[in-house]
């Protein structure tokens, strides 16, 4: 593992690191904020999965999360959204290829060699963090924005017992019925739609649900709300009678101005679960 940078931040450390990834067959970069408490003991970890076109840096610099995490003594990890580099398949469209890994394991060429983002987030990076940093693997929560909200919800419902809490900002809630999903799933997973449902938060909610609290925020002025399909997830939550807080925030759009406005609520929500 290589240290790219480390900066003092709210009496803790905001670092950026790279490492050779077996899952993605190449170098991957992530940001990690460690609060001051990590100098003395292992601390809980909150994952922030970012959306389309983002790197590890977007949420790290725009979400205004570190101060609230420091207040609660929680670490934050900001993974990249896809493999990158020379030889990694890409596409001219912004919503496919590098920056658009969709948190799945691709099975189709030319994506299958590198695009194993599910394995990277579910297995490889957690193991690295627990080995190299003062992280308590028994106390994890997960959140994300847009494509990252999709990833957070699907990982949480598919890995029971892994995360104590899950939240999402403007998640892609029903990708198998949206152009933000059908396009990518066809490319990464193939034409067999029976393989897609395990990556759809609305379908997983009906089938599995989540054994813990859920918080979801979406802006009513989100310019992509028709692609996000929040109503489908809200309906699934209602039908399952899942413990959840689902909020439509009046006037807010899809930007990090929206995320930074409500990040305090989300970190406090996770802190309650992680420190209980």
Query: Which residues have a catalytic role annotated?
Result: 146, 222, 254
Which element (helix H / strand E) includes 215?
A: strand 214-219
What is the per-residue burial (b if ≥16 Cβ within 10 Å, else e) of 18-53?
A: eeebebbebebbbbbbbbebbeeebbbbbbbbbbbe
Question: What gap in Å lies between CA 59 and CA 65, rounded to an integer?
Answer: 8
Question: What gap in Å lies between CA 28 and CA 21, rounded to an integer?
Answer: 6
Question: What gap in Å lies between CA 201 and CA 205, rounded to an integer?
Answer: 6
User: What would the two tokens of residue 243 be?
Assistant: 């413990």
Angle at 61 between CA 3 and CA 78, to 5 degrees: 55
The residue count of the chain comes to 276
Which element (helix H / strand E) includes 246?
A: strand 245-249
User: What would the two tokens of residue 106 be?
Assistant: 């691709």
């Amino acid at each position: 593992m290589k240290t790219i940078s480390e900066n003092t931040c709210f009496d803790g450390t905001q670092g950026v690191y790279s490492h050779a990834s077996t899952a993605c067959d190449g170098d991957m970069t992530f940001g990690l904020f460690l609060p001051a408490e990590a100098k003395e003991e292992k601390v809980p970890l909150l994952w922030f999965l970012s959306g389309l076109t983002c790197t590890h840096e977007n949420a790290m610099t725009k979400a205004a999360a570190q101060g609230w995490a420091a207040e609660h003594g929680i670490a934050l990890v900001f993974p990249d959204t896809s493999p990158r580099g020379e030889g990694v398949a890409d596409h001219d469209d912004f919503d496919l290829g590098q920056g658009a890994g969709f948190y799945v394991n691709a099975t189709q060429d030319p994506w299958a060699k590198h695009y194993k983002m599910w394995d990277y987030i579910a297995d490889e990076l957690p193991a690295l963090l627990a080995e190299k940093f003062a992280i308590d693997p028994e106390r994890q929560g997960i959140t994300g924005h847009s494509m990252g909200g999709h990833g957070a919800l699907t990982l949480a419902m598919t890995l029971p017992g892994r995360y104590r809490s899950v939240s999402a900002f403007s998640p892609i809630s029903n990708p198998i019925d949206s152009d933000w999903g059908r396009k990518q799933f066809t490319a990464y997973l193939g034409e067999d739609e029976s393989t897609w449902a395990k990556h759809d938060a609305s379908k997983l909610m009906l089938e599995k649900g989540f054994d813990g609290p859920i918080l979801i925020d979406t802006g009513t002025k989100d310019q992509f709300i028709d692609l996000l399909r929040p109503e489908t997830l809200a309906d699934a939550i209602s039908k399952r009678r899942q413990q959840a807080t689902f909020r439509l925030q009046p006037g807010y759009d899809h930007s990090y101005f929206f995320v930074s406005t409500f990040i305090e609520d989300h970190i406090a929500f996770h802190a309650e679960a992680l420190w209980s």
